Structure formats: C-alpha cells, structure tokens
Structure 1
Amino acid sequence: MKYETKMATILSITFGIAFFDRNAVNFLVPFIAPDLGLSNTQIGFLSSALSLTWAISGYALGALSDATGRRKIFLLAAIFIFSCCSFLSGLATSFMMLLVARLIMGISEGPMMPVSHAMIVTEVSPKRRGLYMGFVQNFGSNLLGSFAAPLVLVALAEMFNWRIAFFISGVPGLIAAFFIWKYIREPGAQKALFPKKNQAEEATDKPKKMNTFQLFRYRNIVLCGLISILSVSYLVIAWAFMPIFFVQARGFEPTTMSWLMSTLGISATVCAFLVPGLSDRFGRKPILVLFSLVGVVCPLGALYFQGPVIILAAFLFIGWALNGTFPVFMATVPAETLPPGYVATVMGLIMAIGEIIGGFSGPAIAGWAADQFGLSAPLLIQTGCAIGSGLLALGLKESAPIKVGSPAPNPA
C-alpha cells in the first residue's frame, strides 16, 4: 500500500472515531433527556457547546501547527484527550457536568481536521487532492460517526444503559493513537512525491506573511466561510433534533430511529468518494451548488413523507449527499486559494467560522424554536440552510486544477 493511501486511511478512521464520540450524545439523548431532565433548549446547547470549543481550538491550534511545522503531536494529544472525555460523559449526573465534558471534548477534537488536511496537502498530488481530502474528512466520520454510532450506541443503551455506551465509545480512540504513533511520519520528512525546487523558485514561491483579516481579501475564503456557517448548522441541527423528532413527533421506536439515522451514515460514506471525486473532474463550483441544493430532500422527507419507512430512508440517503460537500468548501477550495504555508490556518478558520456561528448558534436557535413551535421547526431551519449554501456557492471562483489549469492560488 502506498504511504499516502495508508496515511489517509488511518487519518480517516481516526477522525471517524472522533465523530463517533462527538455524535454519541445526539443518538443517546432519548435515553439521557428523561434521566437528567433535559429540555430541548439544553439539548441544543449540548451540541452548541462542543461546536464552540471545537471551532476555537481548531483555528488556534491549526495556526500553531502551521507556525511550528508539527502535525503528529497535535493529533496524538487530541485523540487521548477526547477519549478521556467520552468516559467523563458517562459519569455525568447533571446537565452542567455533561456540558463541561462536551466543552473539553470540543477543545481536543478541534485541530484534528485542519492538521489532517495539512498532512494531505503535503503528501498527496494536487490532481488527487479533492478525492483524498474527501476520503479523510468524510469516509471514517460517516462510516463510524453516522452509520455505526446510532446502531451501536442505541443497542448498548437498550442492553445496558447510556452510561455504559459512553464508556465503551472511548476505547477505540486509544487504539487509533497507537496506529498514528507507529505508522504515520511527520509530514515533510520525505518529499519524493514532489520534485525539489531550486533556490530561485523557492524564493519566488515563498508567501508573504498574512494575518487573519488579510485572508478575507480572497472572495473564495469569504464565501466558503458563509457556506460553512449554513452547512454546519444543517448537520448539527440534524444530529441534535432528528433522532428525537423521529421518536417523539413521528412515533418511531428507538430501533427504527437508529436505522434511519444510520442511513445518513451510509449516504455520507458513499459521498465521501463521490462528491469530492466529481469536483476533481467537473470543478468545485457546480458540484457544491448541486449537492447543497439536494440537501433539502432530507429534512423535507422527514417532515412530510408518510409512506413506508424504507422509502423515507431513501429520501434521507439522497438528501444527506450534502455532507459530501464539506471537504470541498472547508478544505479543498481554501487550499487551492491560498499559499501552502497557510493550509492548516485557513482550514481551521473556515471550520471555526462554521462551528462558532453555525454549530453554536444553529442548534441553540433550533432548540428555542422547537420549544416555541414544535419539533418540526428545526427541520425547517435545516431546509433553509441547504438552500442558502447552494445560492452562496454560485459566487465561488473555480479553483479545480482541471478547470483553471494550475493549482496556483487564485488572486484576491
């Protein structure tokens, strides 16, 4: 197996384990809420809290990783801490204790994706960048975090209790840390994939130092940040409220809910290859527009389709293809827009914008709307987010090498 493929596989599975832990509270909330007496607003804040600290640490530690040139140590520290937070979540006896565990988990998981993408940019050819970035960000996270998580966690909660489910979900992270320590090298240790440049070329390519505000001189960075806000809101609202919507509003059994939610994981696992791969071939912009708008099928199907559950699952599968756009607007387009020395910084920034504004405020607003207007309100908000993402994508400047002829950064 080529090193780049082995590295991408380990990084993808590790990020999947992180998402398994992140999503655990959402799939277990039908069991946690009665036990701890949680309101819909508190349920929303549990997702918002993790998104907030995830965003702050993703940008801050991603920038620190760029500044130091170190990647591997950040990943190892993150994995160990978030695994411990899963155990802490299982010990929670109140809303506040569970909230603190989620806050710490967000801090630890935040830098994982910016750092992982920075490693991909260093080790993988630009012609395969979209495919590999999509694989790292979406394959493991959706296979484990969206498909396996509802099935495994709900089964454990019904067999034992929700605390045992948290305890068990913390173990795989420690195993992933071992594989990263043993099989992944510090990026840049070997650069056989790319030819060496002479001193004149290196001097020409060396980017001028930019601060955070100067990054927003690039139109694509502004638009990707806005798309990130809406798309992260779309996903986090679905994770936080769709399970409880299916159980309480639609009257499905928890087992049926878990299978419906796992359908989202199957869809996103497929789209981890499909959407970024299509963007490598047809361009980033048209694929972002198309699959963002397809996202309306998921919440509208959950709200209004009253037929067989298997057909409802098909609607969820189709609509959740929006998930495949995440590595494109959050990683690939920013990486093709800015000089390589800012890869982890700008990815952390786009993620931070989405998580702070969309991931934090989205479920909080949706939780308030659910308390005021019923559990259908969050899904209507989710629909609006998908439409907004598609419209914003229309304004992007194409950056795919197959379209622009070069992976060089776009002008401001």
Structure 2
Amino acid sequence: MARSRWYPFILVGLLFGFWGLVGVNRLGIQFLFPFIVKDFRLNLTQVSLLVSGTSATWAISSWLSGWLSDRYGRRNVLVPGALFACVMTMAQGLAGSFLALFVVRDLVGIGDGVGWPNGQSTLAEEVPPDRRALVAGIFTSGYPLFGSVIAGLIFAPLALALGWRWVFPIAGVFFLVVVLLLWLVMREPPRKERPERLDWRHAFGLVRDRRVLLLMLIQSGALGWLQVGVVVQVLFLQRVLHASPVLAGRVVAISTIGAIAGTLLLPALSDYVGRKPTIVVGALLSAVLLGVYVIGQFPIGIATALLTANAFFEAAIIPLGSATYVVELVGEEHRATTMGGVNLVGVVIGTFLLPLLAGTVGDHFGLPNAYLIAVVCVAIAGLLALALPETAPRVLSRRAGATATA
C-alpha cells in the first residue's frame, strides 16, 4: 500500500489490533484458570508458572527483536514474529497436561515479544512528535481492551459452552486475520538513522545510562502490578469475594475499561502537564486504591469501583515509561533496542519473578497477601519516577519561554 494520508490511521488500527491479541494471550488466560486449575489440578505456584514461563521467552524476544529491527527493519521482524505467535496461540488448545501447556505458552512468548519494541518504534517513526504520547496510548490500550474486556466477557461463557481448549483456536483465527492484514498493508517506516552493523556492546551497554536504568525498574513495577494481577485477580474474586467465574470476568472487564480510559487520556494529558507528574501521581493513587480494595474485601459493587479507579491511574505508566520516554530520550538509531532492553528487564522482574513470588506467597500465606505484592510494585514505580527528567516537548517549550521572559 502506498503511503496515503490514511496510511498512519490504518497502521495504528492494525497494530492496535495486533497488540490487543497479544493481550489475549497474556491476560485472557486468567479467565480460563478456574477451568484449567480444575482440569489439571494445579496449585497457585503452577498457575504462576503459566504466566512466568511466557514472560521469560517474551523478555528475550522483546530485546533481541528490537535489536535486530534497528538494523534490518521493523516489518521484517514484526510480521514473522506475529505469525509465529498466531500459530502458537492456536496450539495452546492441544495441550493435554500442565507441562505441555507450559511449553506451548513459552513458545507463545517468543512471538508475542516482538510486539512492543517494534510496534511502538514503528508508530513513533510514522506520526508527528506532538502525537506520539497519544498514539502510544492508543496502541497500548489494545492490550487491556482485547485481553481483559473482550476476553473477560466471552472467555468464561465460551469455556462453559465448548470447553476451555476451544477458546485458543477461536482467538487464533482472529489473530491470523490481523497478521495477514499487517503483512499486506505495513511498509517499512522511514528512518534517518540506522546502525551500520549490530553491536552487542551497545545492546548490553544500555544500563550505563541512569535514565534508562530507571525506566527498566519503573517498567518492572508496572508489569509486576499487571501480571501479579493476572495470577491472583480472578481467583481472589472467586475465593475471597465469592464471585462466580462469569461474574469475575465481568468485574475484570469493567475495571479494564478504566484502564483503557487511563491509557488514552493520561498520556495525552502528560503532553500538557508533563510525563513525570503524570506517572508519579497516577502510580501512587493506583497503589492506595488497590491496597484499599485488597484489605477492605468490600461487596462486589464497591470492589469493582475501587479496582476500576486503580486501573485508570496505573494506566499511564507503561505507555509513558517504556515508550514515550524512550522515544524522547534515545536517538532513533537505537530506539527499538532500548525499548526492548527496558521491556526485557521489566518482563524478567515484573512478569517472571514477581508472579512466581505471588504464587508462592499465595500458597503459603493466602491470596490477599499475594495481591499486596502488586500494591508495592506500583508504589515503587511511582517513587522511582521522581528521579526522571521531564521530556514532554510542550512542557519544555513552556519552561524555555518562561526562562527567556524572565
């Protein structure tokens, strides 16, 4: 497709859909856990392994795919990885044991991992700088919309009607349609800079930049909040708040609408008030609200409201901390490598180690104590953001104008 004035909008829509279907793989399984736990007789530690195993391969894939795409092109890495993720999504329905499902989900992570660094880098290179935060938010919102809202509303009813194994191939068919459209439509984005060769020293040298190291740790906290929730959220609603699997799915879907609203509104707000205050205030408010939700164990209506508000305020962290900040701090020559590196550390800590910790804590000390790990994660992310510089172009321009006037 030639680059018409409609091309960026079509590309945003397709990448939004692709990232949403990645969200189905990562978040949607929580709505099937009641069925999988019963079928395979799993404890909470094994449940956490189904989340953490995918995260380990995702982390490596995210970093390597970003590094490769800086040299060989976004499309050449993104489309094959997306196709592999599609095939592995369908294959999950064939798993006949915990071990088989664990292995297939590890393979899913390889394909899913290409999405974040390459999708966000592509959009940053196709849209004007003053729209980057908004577009990053739109892209990010596909993940919770598909993974928690749509999956939350339909996965449990589908599993009750057809069995949980059929849910994955059905999702995979939609995944395949989006991937084929990406293959037909997507063109390599224009770039002024591209490394002449792959340099391992740069790939490993990211941590020498204090700002990038901070973003890695902030991403770890944000993803820890997210994936600890995937491990315990539906089971907490069932076992502690006594919701049915279908009602639990609806509660998560409603709360995720709050996350989507936050993902769209808060990054756009940060263009005017600044990246740093948006992350700091959002993260700390999210921590307080989630802590009240877990400790209070309120009736389902109040619990849903608290969970929704918590998700709204947390939603600023990932698009700003691991996409917009990277774009505004790092040159385009190594942009996807840096995004992949931030995601690598964030995924290893936040979606591999912390869910395992939550599963172990839940087995020995109860689900509420496991859930409090998510509260600590998002609070730490907010406090770490205090050390970041401000990068929003409008805010910096306003400050420069005020300084010149003074």
TM-score w.r.t. structure 1 length? 0.90
* Matching of residues 41-80 of structure 1 within 5 Å: 41-68=45-72, 70-80=73-83
Once residues 20 and 304 of structure 1 are traced to their aligned partners in structure 2, the CA distance between those partners, rounded to angstroms, is 29
Q: Tell me the equivalent position of 2:396.
A: 404
Q: Tell me the equivalent position of 1:194.
A: none
Q: CA deviation at 1:299?
A: 3.0
With over 3 angstroms needed to count, the CA separation of the structure-2 counterparts of 1:142 and 1:38, relative to structure 1, is same
Q: Tell me the equivalent position of 1:348.
A: 340
What is the count of residue pairs matched by the alignment?
Answer: 392
* Matching of residues 145-294 of structure 1 within 5 Å: 145-188=147-190, 211-294=202-285
Deviations 1:7-59 (A, max 9, x none): 11211111101111222322100110010111110111111111111010100
Deviations 1:290-322 (A, max 9, x none): 111122245324323454422221111110120
Once residues 307 and 121 of structure 1 are traced to their aligned partners in structure 2, the CA distance between those partners, rounded to angstroms, is 42
Gaps of 5+ in 1: 192-196, 407-412
Gaps of 5+ in 2: 399-406
Moved more, 17-26 or 29-38: 17-26
CA contact (8 A) 2:16 2:138 kept: yes
With over 3 angstroms needed to count, the CA separation of the structure-2 counterparts of 1:330 and 1:259, relative to structure 1, is same
TM-score w.r.t. structure 2 length? 0.92
CA contact (8 A) 2:69 2:76 kept: no
2:42 to 19, 27, 38: 38
Once residues 290 and 278 of structure 2 are traced to their aligned partners in structure 1, the CA distance between those partners, rounded to angstroms, is 20
Q: Tell me the equivalent position of 1:410.
A: none
CA contact (8 A) 2:206 2:341 kept: no
RMSD: 2.2
Name the aligned partner's letter for residue 80 of structure 1. L
Once residues 302 and 151 of structure 1 are traced to their aligned partners in structure 2, the CA distance between those partners, rounded to angstroms, is 22
Q: Secondary structure at the match of 1:33?
A: helix
Q: CA deviation at 1:368?
A: 0.4
Q: Tell me the equivalent position of 1:381.
A: 373
| Percentage identity across paired residues of the two chains | 33
Once residues 122 and 306 of structure 1 are traced to their aligned partners in structure 2, the CA distance between those partners, rounded to angstroms, is 45
Q: CA deviation at 1:184?
A: 2.1
Q: CA deviation at 1:123?
A: 1.0
2:133 to 130, 133, 137: 130
CA contact (8 A) 1:302 1:312 kept: yes
Q: Tell me the equivalent position of 1:368.
A: 360
Once residues 362 and 26 of structure 1 are traced to their aligned partners in structure 2, the CA distance between those partners, rounded to angstroms, is 16
Once residues 4 and 143 of structure 1 are traced to their aligned partners in structure 2, the CA distance between those partners, rounded to angstroms, is 21
Q: CA deviation at 1:384?
A: 0.7
Deviations 1:181-225 (A, max 9, x none): 22222211xx8xxxxx9xxxx89xx9xx76134323333211111
Q: Could you list the runs of 4 or more consecutive aligned residues of structure 1 that deviate by over 3 angstroms after TM superposition?
A: 304-308
With over 3 angstroms needed to count, the CA separation of the structure-2 counterparts of 1:281 and 1:126, relative to structure 1, is same
Once residues 88 and 213 of structure 1 are traced to their aligned partners in structure 2, the CA distance between those partners, rounded to angstroms, is 34
Name the aligned partner's letter for residue 58 of structure 2. W
